Structure 1
């Protein structure tokens, strides 16, 4: 159970508690899922329960989630522990749309679209977009706009946000001054927790990628889904 690292701030401070959703079978099978909408794998449900346990003594004023199932399920497990805490869906928190490869096996995608996949994996290429998909810069922009809206709406409150590795990685890369092509290096683990405060008109990353609540065999998912 986590207490102090994720407690709320004070006067003129808005606290954001970020949670990356638990794993899906598609994550375990190396499927590219952006707006593809699978549910959590049973291991991901266990991870979500561990998150809920970790946050059970943390005061939360409101709960926001990406509208995709893997986040909504994670948020639902968190909300079950709290009376009168509703889940608010926010499209700005959604994963990056991967266009023509969304929902495709990464191996098949590499076989059919090698040049595109090479570009997508090139850290030095800051912006990138699969055909019919969303560019990194556009995904970062709508995610940032979503966060700006939440801190304006919930001044001095504590907001729990269940979202995805893509937008979190982009946001953290930008926060640390890295090219957006390095967003994968900043993606937190599934079911990890981070604490960000908004104060003095700036966002401050206070804790990042906390996984101590996953120490009992929940950090590394099984090699194959059941």
Structure 2
């Protein structure tokens, strides 16, 4: 299974420079983040990836969209692979807003209410989400060839890695 962290977001730009939360819910990719996502997508070409699962946060969907275009694969959305609720950027957009931003994607997995984790989500709750996702994937034949576009905390909890923006981590399943 492949895990890819989203490209640099506008939240990352400010937070990395100042250490402060810029209060940007559901942050989009920065210009650099778009470049990172495009470059990573090109590097994934030729790898045996048969499915893309993405977090519903905008920065992850934007990153996944670059990959989907290069690999010519659809994007499945799964809120289990969302970021840990810690900062303002971890407050998601309602499914209706996401449908307008990404009309080609299906958001039925989000239901009608709040799909993103609560703020101050505990490490235990995050680990439970990771476990639920990995258990679900263990029953799928495609698990080894799936790319999961997600976030630092989720990828770290799933793999132990500390991925940079747009970095891909491969794990055996």
CA distance in 2, matches of 1:153, 1:42: 35
Decide which structure has greater strand share: 1
Larger C-alpha radius of gyration, 1 or 2?
Answer: 1
Aligned residue among 174, 177, 196 for 2:171:
196
Q: Once the 2 structures are TM-superposed, how far is the Cα of residue 154 of structure 1 from its aligned partner?
A: 3.0
Higher RCO (CA-CA < 8 Å; seq separation 6+)? 2
CA distance in 1, matches of 2:23, 2:165: 15
Number of corresponding residues: 142
Partner of 1:54: 43
Partner of 1:7: none
Q: CA RMSD in A?
A: 2.5
Partner of 1:42: 31
CA distance in 2, matches of 1:24, 1:149: 29
Decide which structure has greater helix share: 2
Matched, 1:91 2:91: no
* SS, match of residue 11 in structure 2: helix
TM score, norm. by length of structure 1: 0.57
CA-to-aligned-CA distance 1:57-102 (integer Å, 9 cap, x gap): 112111100000100000000000133x11000101000112xx53
Partner of 1:177: none
Q: Once the 2 structures are TM-superposed, how far is the Cα of residue 193 of structure 1 from its aligned partner?
A: 0.9
Partner of 2:108: none
Q: Once the 2 structures are TM-superposed, how far is the Cα of residue 169 of structure 1 from its aligned partner?
A: 1.9
Contact 1:64 1:87 in 2 (8 A): yes
The 1:57–1:132 alpha-carbon spacing in structure 2 relative to 1, beyond 3 Å, is closer
Aligned residue among 160, 174, 187 for 2:147:
160
TM score, norm. by length of structure 2: 0.73
CA distance in 1, matches of 2:158, 2:22: 19
Unmatched runs of 5 consecutive residues or more in structure 2: 91-117
CA distance in 1, matches of 2:130, 2:22: 18
The 1:164–1:34 alpha-carbon spacing in structure 2 relative to 1, beyond 3 Å, is farther
Q: Once the 2 structures are TM-superposed, how far is the Cα of residue 34 of structure 1 from its aligned partner?
A: 11
Aligned residue among 126, 131, 144 for 1:139:
126
The 1:26–1:76 alpha-carbon spacing in structure 2 relative to 1, beyond 3 Å, is same
Contact 2:11 2:24 in 1 (8 A): no
Structure 1's consecutive aligned runs of 4 or more residues displaced over 6 angstroms after TM superposition are: none
Contact 1:35 1:95 in 2 (8 A): no
The 1:132–1:76 alpha-carbon spacing in structure 2 relative to 1, beyond 3 Å, is closer
